[in-house]
Amino acid sequence: MKKLLLLFLGLSGTWASAQNILDNKVTFKYTQLPAVKINDATKTYSVEVSMSYQQRNTDSTNAYDLASKNYLTTLSTYMDAYDQQKAQIDRQHLNNMIIWENQVIAGNTTAVAPVKPPYPGMNPPVRPKKPFLIKEIQPTSIIPAIKIDGLTQNTGSAAKIKIVFEGFEKGMIKLEQSGTAPAIKYFYSIQYRHPLSLQVEAAGKGMVYSQRMAETEGFRSWRTKEFKTKSELELWWYDNENIVWEERQTQAIQENISVLNSYFVSTYGYPVQSRRIELYSAKQKNIDYSDVQKAYSTMETALLMLAYPDKIQQAQAKLQEALGMYNQILQESNPNDKKARVDANVTSACLVNMTEAYIWLNDYSNAEMTANKVITIGVNKYERDARAHLEFIRFQQARYAANQ
C-alpha cells in the first residue's frame, strides 16, 4: 500500500509540474525554396515539347502501305487462279451437258442429267490490319499546362525545360471477373504507358537533369465496364477497342502532365506550404511566466508573418527578439529541480520554440544543437518534437544550401 501511495504521489508530481506548460497548435504558411535552383533573378522558365515517335508512325504507315500493295498483288494472283478453277469446272460441266443432251436427242430415256460440282472453297490472303498510330501531341496544348509555383513562363528564359514524349505503348489485356456466381461480372483490365524524357537547363549552370522520367516508365492500369457474359464483353470490345486506346492516349498525356508539374513544383518551384507545429507557453498560479508568454507571443507573430514575402525581414527580427527573451529565461534553467520556475518541462518547451526560430533564421547549426539539447534533457513529449525538428532541419538546410 505504501509503494502504491508513493507511486501515486510520484505521478501526481509529474502531472502537476507539467501543468505549467500551455501546448498551442500553430499553423502558418511559408514559401518553400526549390531543391534545385534553375531560375535567375527574373524567376522565369521556358518549355519546349517534342515527339520522338513520329518516325515510328511513319515506319508503321510505310510498312502497312507495302503490305497492302503486296496483299493486292497476292489477292489478284489468287483470284486469277481461283477463276481458272471455276472455268475448268464450268467447261467440264458444259461438256457433260452436251453429252447428256445428245443422248436425250438420240432417244435415250434413261440418260441422267449431270450435276454440276461445287466450286472449291475460297481461302484468300488475309488483308493486313491497319497500324496503330500514336496520336500526335500538340505542343500548344501541353506548354501552357506546365506550371511551376513561383516562376513564370517566358520563351526567352535562360532556364529551359525540354519534354520529349517517346510514344504511347499498349500493355497487357487481361480478362478478369468480379463477384461470385450467379452474379459474376466480366471486364478487361488493360495496361498502357507513355514514357517521356526530360531535360532541364538551369540559368547560368547548364544541364541539371537529362534522363527518362522513371515516374512515366511503369504501366498504368484501366478497366472496362462490367458485363454479365464474356460474349457481351467481347462484342463491346469489338465495337470500342479503337476508342478505348484513343482515350487512353489522351489520359496518359494528362497523367504525365500531372507527374511533370508535381516534379517541377517540388524540385524547382517556390510553392507556398502550410506548417503546423506545437508552440509552447507557460502559466501557473503563484508563478510569474509573463516573460515566457511574451516570448511565445513574439514567436507566434513572427511565424504568421512568414506567409508574406515582403515581411520576412520583420519576421526574422521578431524571431531574434524572441530568442533574446528565451536566452534570458534559460539563465534560470534547472532541469533537475522539479520545483524550479524553469524546470525540465519549461526548459524543454523553450528550447523547442527556439529550435523553430533558428530554422526560420536559416541558422541550422544552432537549430540542430538546440534540438539535441531537448533530446538530452529527455522529456518524452519534447524529445519527439526535437526529433521531428531534426528531420525538418535537414530538409530545409539542403534547400537553403541549393539556393546560395
SS3 content of the chain, % helix, strand, coil (to 5): 50, 20, 30
Beta carbons within 10 angstroms of residue 329's beta carbon: 21
Closest CA to 187 of 197, 177, 202: 177
Closest CA to 171 of 217, 229, 235, 225: 217
19-31+272-402 has which CATH code?
A: 1.25.40
pLDDT for 18 = 52
Contact 31, 271 (CB under 8 A): yes
**DSSP classification of residue 227:** B
Cα 176 to chain centroid distance, Å, stands at: 26
Cell of 372: 539535441
Cell of 223: 478497366
DSSP string for residues in 60-113: HHHHHHHHHHHHHHHHHHHHHHHHHHHHHHHHHHHHHHHHHHHHHHTT-TTPPP
Instruction: Region of 232 please: left (phi>0), alpha (psi -120 to 50) or beta.
Output: alpha
Cell of 44: 522565369
Contact 24, 296 (CB under 8 A): yes
Residues with pLDDT less than 50, the chain: 1-17
Sheet containing strand 206-212, edge to edge, reads: 152-153, 44-51, 160-165, 196-202, 206-212
pLDDT digits (tens, 9 = 90+) for 231-271: 999 999 999 999 999 999 999 999 999 999 999 999 999 99
pLDDT for 17 = 47
- CB-based contacts of 57: which residues, under 8 Å, 6+ apart? 133, 134, 136
Say which CATH architecture domain 35-53+134-269 belongs to. Answer: 2-Layer Sandwich (3.30)
pLDDT digits (tens, 9 = 90+) for 349-385: 999 999 999 999 999 999 999 999 999 999 999 999 9
The backbone torsions φ and ψ at residue 231, rounded to the nearest 5 degrees and listed phi first, read -65, -40
Exposure pattern of 200-230 as b/e (b: 16+ CB <10 Å)? bbbbeeeeebeeebebbeeeeeeebebbeee
